[in-house]
Chain A
Amino acid sequence: MLNYFLTEEQEMIRDLARRLAEEKVAPVARELDEKEEFPHEIMRLCAEADLFGVWIPEEYGGLGGGVLEQVLVVEELSRACAGVATTYAASALGGYPILLFGSEEQKKRYLPDLAAGRRLAAFALTEAGAGSDAGSIRTRAVREGDYYVLNGTKQWITNGGEADLYVVIAVTDPEKGSRGVSAFIVEKGTPGFSFGAKEKKMGIRASTTRELIFADCRVPRENLLGKEGMGFLVAMRTLDRTRPGVGAQAVGIAQGALDAAVRYARERRQFDQPIISFQAIQHKLADMAIQVEAARALVYAVARAIDAGAKEFSKESAMAKVFASDVAMRVTVEAVQILGGNGYSREYPVEKMMRDAKVTQIYEGTNEIQRNIIAQALAKEYAKTE
């Protein structure tokens, strides 16, 4: 791996995350996957190690890092189990809206608990009829005195049922289209807020994905994030910051697959020689390594730019997500090929990595949608220069 000249503190974060991943996650990854079990114990260990606080400012109980610190943790956890990493990362997905748009009071109230890992968060935008087309969400929030009354159903919500805090995007003014949407903090246990079916997934099965059901759920007015009508801005700015995290997840999965493939190719013998002596295998491994390093470099570069205060980074954030997730998919498919029949076996880790990799091309905006974002930004940039 290339030296990225991380600070001493960043190296400390990465090393601790790696140790936790190797010692505590890797040994149970297979079991969590097969049982589709939520990793309560591992989340407790992440909390104890202060990993939930890496991106949260010190004044709210965090370690004062940024997107890069979060990326380092996600990458290391993903090397061992992407389901665990998703669970961890989704809490930041639910926490970033509070950091970016919360009032001082909301930040003081919620961020210290998230930093300490005492509470988990989740982010709820998607609905049955509104995936890529997020503008068509139906969940309604109607103002009644000091409350907003929420009705509707969110689908595909990571950490659904397990998280304590939910940032929910709902329509406050149907007349205004995308400007009539608002973001709310909804606490678990609020009357009228319940959980529906759990998804039965192909991969990241340690991560729970579930429906959120709002039936006349009364949310206090002070739980509105930002102003009425800012819901989409909240969602988009949040996703701009978390997409490098999906990229990091992809890099971690791909690195894990590369590790497994190289080790296997050195050991497995056919035709009286280790299969790594065949050029066909060598070139596959070389291409995998090139792609993993390129993906990592892009993800880190974008994360650093965001942390350094870049103003516009939707396009680059989308690039990091698309590129790394496509790499993860290709690299894991090749890893399965290199392991041959064993690659296809659940006794070896790479088939899980291949299943896990697929989701990184889908969630937090499909790669098609990311390419739309990138192309729109290009069109705009070039229009300006003419």
Chain B
Amino acid sequence: MEMVVCVKQVPDASEVRVDPATNNLMREGVPSIMNPFDRHAIEAALRLREAVGGRITALSMGPPQAEEVLREAIALGVDEAVLVCDRAFAGSDTLATSYTLALAIRKLGAVDLVLCGQQSIDGETAQVGPELAEHLGFAQCSYVRALGKPAEGALEVERAAEDGYERVRLLLPAVLTVMKELNEPRLPSLKGMLRAKKAELRIWTAADLGADPSRIGQAGSPTRVAGVFAPQRGKKAQLLTGSVVEQVQALVERLQAERVI
């Protein structure tokens, strides 16, 4: 089975800082990590390879330093890695990102399964996976929480829906986006880390992909970020004092005043 895992390098910060002038994410000085969901996508691919054999390529679009997450993927056990990297891709929204990744996947040749994380922890749109499937004309299933064993060109998966779980049978090739509960990612191995240090990554530019300049980067991104802000969190706690009876009385009065009771 030929598999591709899409991995994104993201800033390691629970709160994303935004440049107030440009509304862009400020990435300087924040250490970068592999998008945590993508670890689960890699683990899923590794387990499928253990079960039915095949090859896994890790694919990332990003600046040259995104190479780090690809080397990490190799340390975890993927066979090869491709970095899609070009100044022309700067400013890509999810549409341009998925278009570009789809071109790279086509260039890789016959692919049976593409695995993505459920969402990134910075952009958090959860759009790239489904859009990829559209560009590629593959079947798709998002929020996958359990995987069967592929057989006869099909794969059974279980996905989380709003009010329960759905069992879906997909014809391959397909794109999946995976949840954290799908598996517990392994640690890298020492031999994998040594291999990762020496591994040669393939680096593809816009020209290598034959990308349409109007569909990549800023030009190919119809999304306009009108404003990004952190929600205001104010502490409004008040301490009621006095005897227990007085406190309860005060509390009831306040709740009535606020029309809670």
Q: Does A19 contact B (CB under 8 A)?
A: yes
Q: Which residues of chain B come closer than 8 Å to A260, judged between CB atoms?
A: none
Residue of chain B at shortest CB distance from A20: B187
Contact with A along B180-197 (1 / 0, CB 8 A): 000000111111111000
Question: B194 to A16, Cβ gap below 8 A?
Answer: no
Q: Which residues of chain B come closer than 8 Å to A45, judged between CB atoms?
A: 186-187
Residue of chain B at shortest CB distance from A50: B190
Q: Does A54 contact B (CB under 8 A)?
A: yes
Q: Which residues of chain A come closer than 8 Å to B187, judged between CB atoms?
A: 16, 19-20, 23-24, 45, 48-49
Question: B193 to A63, Cβ gap below 8 A?
Answer: no
Restricting to A4-26, which residues have a CB under 8 Å from any CB of B? 9, 12-13, 16, 19-20, 23-24
Closest-CB distance, B176 to chain A (whole angstroms) = 24
Question: B190 to A63, Cβ gap below 8 A?
Answer: yes
- Interface core residue of B186, B190, B193, B194 (most chain A CB under 10 Å): B190
Question: A16 to B186, Cβ gap below 8 A?
Answer: no
Q: Which residues of chain A come closer than 8 Å to B194, judged between CB atoms?
A: 9, 12, 63
A194 and B186 alpha carbons, distance in the complex (Å) = 35
Closest-CB distance, B72 to chain A (whole angstroms) = 12
Q: Which residues of chain A come closer than 8 Å to B186, judged between CB atoms?
A: 45, 48
Question: B193 to A12, Cβ gap below 8 A?
Answer: yes
A71 and B132 alpha carbons, distance in the complex (Å) = 48
Q: Does A53 contact B (CB under 8 A)?
A: yes
Closest-CB distance, A196 to chain B (whole angstroms) = 36
A207 and B233 alpha carbons, distance in the complex (Å) = 50
Determine chain B's interface SS by DSSP, over half rule.
Answer: helix
Determine chain A's interface SS by DSSP, over half rule.
Answer: helix
Contact with A along B137-171 (1 / 0, CB 8 A): 00000000000000000000000000000000000
Q: Give the contacting residue for B188; candidates A16, A53, A54, A63; CB below 8 A.
A: A16
A48 and B189 alpha carbons, distance in the complex (Å) = 6
Question: A13 to B189, Cβ gap below 8 A?
Answer: no
A23 and B39 alpha carbons, distance in the complex (Å) = 15
Closest-CB distance, A155 to chain B (whole angstroms) = 35
Closest-CB distance, B191 to chain A (whole angstroms) = 5
Q: Does A120 contact B (CB under 8 A)?
A: no
Question: B189 to A54, Cβ gap below 8 A?
Answer: no
Q: Does A51 contact B (CB under 8 A)?
A: yes
Q: Which residues of chain B come closer than 8 Å to A23, judged between CB atoms?
A: 187
Residues of B participating in the A interface, judged by any CB pair closer than 8 Å: 186-194
5 A-B residue pairs with CB within 8 Å = A16-B187, A20-B187, A48-B186, A49-B190, A51-B190
Residues of A participating in the B interface, judged by any CB pair closer than 8 Å: 9, 12-13, 16, 19-20, 23-24, 45, 48-51, 53-54, 63
Beyond A50-B191, A63-B191, A63-B194, 19 additional pairs, beta carbon < 8 A: A12-B190, A12-B194, A13-B190, A16-B187, A16-B188, A16-B193, A19-B187, A20-B187, A23-B187, A24-B187, A45-B186, A45-B187, A49-B188, A49-B189, A50-B190, A51-B190, A53-B190, A54-B190, A63-B190
